[in-house]
């Protein structure tokens, strides 16, 4: 769940431990990356996916972008990859990549229409004609936010023998468009808890298709999960592959 909240170096260092990517996520995106000559990862977080591609033998251009400097500091430990600190709308590439991806539900951080349109326009400009854009967003019909309660607890070792515990709380429930929630990080090694707030937008498949078409994309495929299952009302995800026209 990448977000601008990870500007805190302490939280950025914990991200991969607390939110390790699911096997199915890697199984979906990694073959797309390996088949592409040049890849732009928008909202790359700690850079784990691009690093995995390089380790698997990808010999082409790999570029990761994230607005959180602390996350990029983690990513920069991986050599041989371009790392850029900034938001999607600030991209200035012109037809340089044949694949762009947004993983970790980073697409949902684009809350406003103007922000979303600017980001999609920048991604479209960065892609060659016929280039592909792959991303996922939570299916609003699955109502994932109903499970973001104080009873949901994550914990991980911080690498120094200290346990960090994370709990969740909804601050503003789903209003037909967004959910605002907080994550509370606590550790016996810390003087005080760390509170992080996020606002995420939930778009349905029709709205995703509309925004993509406006930005110059053709919807190629949509799935309900990372195993390429059909998109149904009960599907947890809307996994989308679009092509630049």
What digits encode the pLDDT tens for the residues 21-59?
888 899 999 999 999 999 999 999 999 999 999 999 999
Q: Average pLDDT, stretch 70-89?
A: 95
* CATH class name, domain 142-200: mainly beta
Quick check: 1 pLDDT over 70? no
Structure tokens at 220: 């190629």
Q: Where in the chain is the domain with CATH 2.20.25?
A: 142-200
User: Given this model, what pLDDT does residue 4 score?
Assistant: 41
Instruction: Count Cβ atoms below 10 Å from residue 170 Cβ, excluding itself.
Output: 15
User: Given this model, what pLDDT does residue 111 score?
Assistant: 97
Instruction: Give percent of the chain with pLDDT exceeding 70.
Output: 97
Q: Classify burial at 65, counting beta carbons within 10 Å of its beta carbon; exposed 0-12, middle 13-18, buried 19 or more.
A: buried
- State the number of CA atoms in the 13 A half-sphere of 202 facing the CB: 18
User: Given this model, what pLDDT does residue 129 score?
Assistant: 97
Structure tokens at 138: 């939570």
User: Given this model, what pLDDT does residue 2 score?
Assistant: 39
Structure tokens at 94: 């012109």
Mean pLDDT, all residues of the chain: 94
Q: What is the dihedral of CA 242, 98, 226, 200, to 10 degrees?
A: -70
User: Given this model, what pLDDT does residue 118 score?
Assistant: 97
User: Given this model, what pLDDT does residue 6 score?
Assistant: 59
6-10, 97-101, 114-118, 207-211 — which is least confidently predicted?
6-10
User: Given this model, what pLDDT does residue 53 score?
Assistant: 98
* End-to-end Cα, the chain, rounded Å: 29
Question: 4-140+201-244, superfamily in CATH?
Answer: Vaccinia Virus protein VP39 (3.40.50.150)
Instruction: Give percent of the chain with pLDDT exceeding 90.
Output: 91
Token match 């937008």: residue?
201
57-75 pLDDT, tens digit each: 999 999 999 999 999 999 9
Q: Where in the chain is the domain with CATH 3.40.50.150?
A: 4-140+201-244
144-183 pLDDT, tens digit each: 999 999 999 999 999 999 999 999 999 999 999 999 999 9
Quick check: 10 pLDDT over 90? no
Helix axes 205-214, 113-126, angle to 10 degrees: 60
SS (H, E, C) the chain: CCCHHHHCHHHHHHHHHHCCCCHHHHHHHHHHHHCCCEEEEECCCCCHHHHHHHHCCCCCEEEEEECCHHHHHHHCCCCCCEEEECCHHHCCCCCCEEEEEECCCHHHHCCCHHHHHHHHHHHHHHEEEEEEEEEEEECHHHCHHHHCCCCCEEEEECCCCCEEEEEEEEEECCCCCEEEEEEEEECCCCCCCEEEEEEEECCCHHHHHHHHHHCCEEEEEEECCCCCCCCCCCCCEEEEEEEEC
Q: Average pLDDT, stretch 180-204?
A: 95
User: Given this model, what pLDDT does residue 3 score?
Assistant: 43
- Residues with Cβ within 8 Å of 112's Cβ and at least 6 positions away in sequence, in order, are none
18-22, 71-75, 130-134, 194-198 — which is least confidently predicted?
18-22
Quick check: 203 pLDDT over 90? yes
């Amino acid at each position: 769940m990448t977000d601008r909240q990870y500007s805190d170096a302490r939280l950025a260092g914990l991200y991969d431990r607390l939110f390790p990517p699911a096997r199915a996520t890697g199984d979906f995106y990694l073959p797309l990356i390996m088949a592409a000559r040049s890849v732009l990862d928008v909202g790359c977080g700690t850079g784990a996916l691009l690093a995995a591609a390089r380790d698997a033998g990808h010999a082409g251009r790999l570029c990761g972008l994230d607005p959180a400097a602390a996350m990029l500091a983690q990513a920069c430990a991986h050599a041989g990859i371009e790392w850029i600190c900034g938001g999607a709308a600030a991209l200035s590439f012109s037809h340089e990549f044949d694949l762009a991806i947004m993983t970790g539900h980073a697409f949902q951080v684009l809350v406003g229409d103007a922000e979303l349109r600017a980001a999609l326009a920048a991604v479209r400009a960065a892609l060659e004609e016929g280039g592909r854009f792959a991303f996922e967003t939570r299916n609003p019909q699955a109502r994932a936010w109903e499970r973001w309660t104080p009873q949901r607890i994550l914990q991980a070792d911080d690498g120094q023998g200290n346990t960090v515990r994370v709990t969740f709380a909804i601050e503003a429930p789903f209003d037909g468009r967004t959910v605002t929630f907080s994550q509370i990080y606590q550790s016996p090694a810390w003087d005080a808890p760390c509170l992080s707030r996020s606002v995420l937008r939930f778009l349905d498949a029709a709205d995703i298709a509309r925004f993509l078409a406006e930005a110059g994309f053709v919807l190629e495929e949509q799935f309900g999960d990372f195993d390429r299952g059909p998109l149904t009302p009960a599907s947890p995800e809307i996994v989308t592959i679009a092509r630049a026209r």
